[in-house]
Structures are given as C-alpha cells and as structure tokens.
Structure 1
Amino acid sequence: MGQTQDIESDQGYGIQLKFTDLEDGKYSVTMVYNSIMVNQPMAGLDYDSETATSEPTGSAKAIASVLNNELYFTLSKNGEVSNISGFEAMLDSMAVSMGITDDAQASMFKSQMSSQYNAQSIVDQLKRTLIIFPDKELNKGDTWSEDQSVTVPFAMNIQTTYELADYDDETVTLNIASDIFTEGDEANMGGATMTPDLSGVQSGTITIDRNTGLILKGGMEQLVSGILNMTSPQEMEIPLEISGKTEVVGSIE
C-alpha cells in the first residue's frame, strides 16, 4: 500500500500594472512585482518581502531579486497578450543574487528558473485575472462562457461560465464556475516523464471596477484530482489531488 504525502505551498504576489500608450486598440503595459510571499515547508522555504526583517538566504535570495524588475507586454481590448519582454534581465538578476558567476552554471540555473518565470506564465496568469465580457448589453442573471488553455502546473483546458450577479454605478459582481481538464500532454517533472489525467472544478465570486474592467477583489476555490501516468524512468500510476484557494485584491491609482 502506498503512502499519502501532503505537500503545502502558499504563494502570494503583489503586482503593479501601469497602462501607458493606447494604439490600434492595444495598451502598452509595464508590470512590476512589488511584493512576494512563498511558504513551502517541505522545501524549507519561507519568505515574505513585506514582513522580512533580515536579508533573504538560500533560494529565497533568487525569489527576492524578482522584486522591482519590470516586465513589458502589449494587451489588446479582447485580452490578447503579446510582445512580452524583460524576462532575460529578471533571470540575470536572479543568477547574480545567488552569486553564480560561471557562465555554464548561470545558464543552467536560468533554464531551471525559466520554467516558472517565463512569457507563457504571464499569459496564463493574466488569463486567470482578465475577464472578457461579451459585446452586448448584459443584465442581472445573464451568463456567458469562455474556454481557456493554460500550461501551469500542467497543460489544462478551463471551461468557465460567468454569471452577472449584481452591479451598480461603480462595480460589477460576477459568479464564476469552471470545469477543468488536462489535455493529455506529456510533462517532465524532476526527470520523470508522465501524462496527467486530471479533472476538477473551481468556483468563486469576483468584483470588478466598472470603469476599467480591473478586478478589485475576488476569491476562488479549486479542486482537481486524478492520476499521473508515469512512463519513465518506470511505469507507475500516481494518484493526485490538488486543492487550492486564490484571493485577489486590487486597487486603481
């Protein structure tokens, strides 16, 4: 009989988005991480930039170096993200913070970190926070649907239904319900090749600023379960259950 292993991971990111030029229906956006919190007991990692009273140590140094680095991208009115840049400079600062001076070691380190900090991760993150409304007038109780594909932690399809729960002159409140399915793509995790067969649901409520469309607050709960089918270095089926909560708090300056 196999053993059950619980892995706890708590992460929080404070992000500032600055919208500058609007040209041909597209915004130029500058994104900055202004706070980071990561708590992973199994990895011995516990860092919170807002409460830290001393300089970070170990792998926390790389995470802390992400603060105040600028990323740039273009955002269209229908939520398409393109022209993402700034990650190479961010990865360079992470390598420097870890004291890595050898070119080969720095290249290997940046390759490892780029699995988390990359252009696709930004696209996936924004997909979860940008709400694309239908091009028609909506009333209370109206619903619409959207399909999204994300790559983290696995290649998954998220089929979401939005319901207009309430609105006033300043805000809009939406109820959200999603079905989640992995898309059958192989993944490499720690040198093992496996194909996830997972499905689940997520639900929650968000409040949006009516003037800008940006999220002011929101809460989501997610439960995904199934099997990881390992094919290398050995064949094995690994039961997996992922539960999570997401909270978003935003402000407009």
Structure 2
Amino acid sequence: MSFKKLFLLVLLIGFTSVTQAQHYLGYNLNVGDTLKITQVSEQEIVQKMNDQEHKIINNLVGDYLFHIKKETDSSYIINFKYDSFFMKTTSNLAGPIFDVDTRKEISEDDVEGKIFKGLTETALEINMLKTGKIVSLVGTEDLINNMINDLGLDSFTMEVMRESMRKEFGGESLIESLGQFTYMYPDKTVNIGDSWQNKFKGDMKADNTWQLDSVDENLNISCNSDIALTSQEENLTMILKGTQQSEITSDKVTGWTIDAKITSTAKGISIMQGMESVEIPTTIISTTTYKPFK
C-alpha cells in the first residue's frame, strides 16, 4: 500500500472515530406514549434568630403523567397531568403545619385537601421543544378553577384566592417549574466531556452548566448551577443564593429521564412583615429525586 493510500485510510478512520464520538442529545419520543415520573423532595429550612433555631421540613411526593399527543419538526405537544400529590410540612416550634395526600379520601372540611385534589383533575397541554425547553402551556386557568371551585367561597374571596394561586400555578410559573425537570439538552451534537449552558427563570433562577459525562446504554449527564431564590409571600420574604448539583441518567434513544438526583444549598435572609429592619439568617437544603413509576 502506498504512503498516500495509507494516509487516506488513517484519515478516514480518524474521521469515523470523531463522527461516532458525537452524540445527539434531545428528546425522541413516540406519539401515543404515556411517560410516568415520580418526584420525591425533601427541603429543610433553618432560620436563626438570637439563640433560637426554627427548622421547617417540607416533604413532597408527586406522580406526573406525560402523554405524547403530537410531534412537529421541532417540538412535541404533550398532555400533562398531576396523577397524585402529597405534601407534609412540620416545624420544630409549631409541630405539624400542612399534611395533604390526594391518594386518600378527602373529607368535606379539609380545605387544603380539596385544593390539591383539584390539582389532579386537570390535564394541561405543553408545547416542548426537543431540547426540553417548554415554550407554551395551555389550561392553567382550568387548573386553578378546579382547585378552588369546590370550596364554597363567595365570589370576592374566590377571586382573591385565584389571583394568589396564579403566582404558583399560572402559565409562566408552571412553565418554569416543569422546565427544571425537562430542559437539559443542547441544540447541537456533543462529545463526551463537552459542556453547554442554559438558564432557568422564575422565583428560583439558575445559571446551569451541563456536561455529558459518559454514554453506555444510557446518557449520563451532570450539571452545576448557581442559584438565586427570591420568595415573596404575604408575611415573609426570603432572598437566598447558593449552588445546585444534578446527576441525571436518561434513555439514550428517547432522552427521557430514568433516574435523577438534584441537591442544593442556598443561604441568605428572611424578612418578616412588620419587622423589616430585622434580617433573619436562613438556609435551605433540598434533595429531589426523579424516577419512573408504573
């Protein structure tokens, strides 16, 4: 074999190796499929004032259904539904604060239970790009109405509650919340070890740097994020900054998450209404996992 032919053969082998090393990262879902995921979260909030420590523990479990309704050139139209919702909040100073489980029978006097039972009775329509970025969502007004219609409230109280719930379950808020589960892929092919960036907006802002760590029968992806949380409730404002780490395993063919673990620590201050001159040191530590359910 001549030197010229040998050079071309080596060049071809090298080009093939580079080509094979590149991976398309994105969703490749089948119309008609229903994908199921369980979110399990534990959040610890610690506030320190003088010599007293107030510790609040939030436990949340949610089962979510994603039904692939339609595929376009760049996106999927998906029916999304909360299948079940559990949340329990306890305080070392006040004891149990909140306890809702939509999998159990809801009593007539359980206002919180009725609200979150309504959460499980509405399907939303998501338009999600193949990178996982959610660009639109339809049905949030129906969702909010189903959460409050069974409470027997007068029209004024109902409208006040509806406006309050739009902050958490309105279109933009829910897009940002769901996007933190789906939006992790770049709009280009990458090699193992390559990184890319995106951002989450909303009450919790995040500047994310993702990396393709390895590829076997699955995609193994990690992410390091700088986060900033601003939460403004009726009686309390929290302003915190911190970091977040994510480890995600997703199906190499569909791109759908098989297993994910997200941990974060944020520190800052809380300000109580009527005590604006007092800044309460506050730390929030969170761990969230996602796994499919049957």
> What TM-score bracket applies, with the shorter chain setting the length?
0.7 to 0.9
**Count of aligned pairs:** 238
Q: Classify 1:200/1:83 alpha carbon distance in 2 versus 1 (closer, same or farther; 3 Å).
A: closer
Counterparts in 2 of 1:131-142, with a 5 A limit? 131-139=184-192, 142=193
CA distance in 1 between counterparts of 2:180 and 2:275 reads 34
Residue 79 of structure 1 deviates from its aligned partner by 3.3
Amino acid aligned to 2:207: Q
Assess if the C-alpha contact under 8 Å between 1:177 and 1:201 holds in 2.
Answer: yes
Residue 134 of structure 1 deviates from its aligned partner by 5.0
Tell me the equivalent position of 1:27. Answer: 76
TM-score under structure 2 length normalisation: 0.72
Residue 83 of structure 1 deviates from its aligned partner by 3.2
CA distance in 1 between counterparts of 2:286 and 2:144 reads 28
Residue 66 of structure 1 deviates from its aligned partner by 0.9
Assess if the C-alpha contact under 8 Å between 1:134 and 1:144 holds in 2.
Answer: no
Counterparts in 2 of 1:1-253, with a 5 A limit? 1=50, 3-42=52-91, 44-50=97-103, 52=104, 54-56=105-107, 57-100=110-153, 102-130=154-182, 131-139=184-192, 142-152=193-203, 154=204, 156=205, 158-169=206-217, 171-182=218-229, 188-191=232-235, 194=237, 196=239, 198-228=240-270, 234-250=276-292
Q: Which runs of 4+ in 1 moved over 3 A?
A: 228-233
CA distance in 2 between counterparts of 1:150 and 1:247 reads 21
Higher CA-based Rg: 2
| Structure (1/2) with the larger helix percentage | 2
Residue 33 of structure 1 deviates from its aligned partner by 0.5
Higher relative contact order (CA 8 A, sep 6+): 2
Q: Classify 1:64/1:231 alpha carbon distance in 2 versus 1 (closer, same or farther; 3 Å).
A: closer
Using the aligned pairs only, state the percent identity: 18
Gaps of 5+ in 1: none
Query: 1:192-246, CA deviations, whole angstroms, 9 ceiling, x for partnerless residues?
Result: 5x572x2211223211011121111111111111224679763222211000100
The RMSD of aligned alpha carbons is 2.5
CA distance in 2 between counterparts of 1:93 and 1:166 reads 44
Amino acid aligned to 1:205: E
Query: 1:17-38, CA deviations, whole angstroms, 9 ceiling, x for partnerless residues?
Result: 1122222422211101101111
SS in 2 for 1:211: coil
